Chains A and B, each alone.
Chain A
């Protein structure tokens, strides 16, 4: 493959990723269904690069940080553990690439929350006060965080639904099972100062 073909494929994937980012806001169900059938690996590359760039960016904001590459490797391990866990629970009906694609796209709410929190850390550094502005900001921030959390839950559920092709109840049990090991694992990551809030 020559460089020209690579560039064309890369920019096509970039346009698709940007388009799907907006479509996941407007039509999460339909868009996630399409993503579960995706085969273009350049899209994964673009999402991975944007996550890596984010880790590079916060390296300059954190106190006594680990190198961005190490944080990215740990994130990548988390991601593979999560996708493999759900894949292994439903091996017979599912394809692994479908899990990888849908879970990659479900990283958008996480990325937006972490990026906006880092930017707010620069422009409106904590601690928050009990002034009127402080209270108003806090209410807005909680509403913003909850909205992104709900979006994340919708995308996460749809990712498992379209990749595993299981029904709601089975997915619910799978998520409970996932949390039984992921929550202690997140505490471990917090203890070693890799992530204060799990990036997943």
Chain B
């Protein structure tokens, strides 16, 4: 029982180690929490389709420039 209490206490201390975010205006805080919830667990489910869409849009907008940017980035290591 003591062991369980200690583990529970440790977990609670870990979870409540920081205060919840408050952005000052209620509805902004509400939407901030809604959006950031997607980044807390398996963010790549949203990130990968989003970045593919962004890179496709960038290609359509920039064309040749994007290809040159990739060449520059490939020398960037």
Contact = CB atoms under 8 A, between A and B. Distances in A.
Q: Do A and B come from one complex?
A: yes
Interface residues of A, number: 47
Chain B interface SS verdict (over half): helix
B21 A151 contact: no
Contacts, number: 117
A12 B3 CA distance: 24
B17 A33 contact: yes
B77 A196 contact: yes
Interface string A126-149: 111110001101111111111100
A102 to B, nearest CB: 12
A150 B47 contact: yes
Interface residues of B, number: 38
Interface in B39-77: 39-44, 47-48, 50-52, 54-56, 58-59, 64, 66-71, 73-77
Interface of B: 14-15, 17-19, 21-24, 32, 39-44, 47-48, 50-52, 54-56, 58-59, 64, 66-71, 73-77
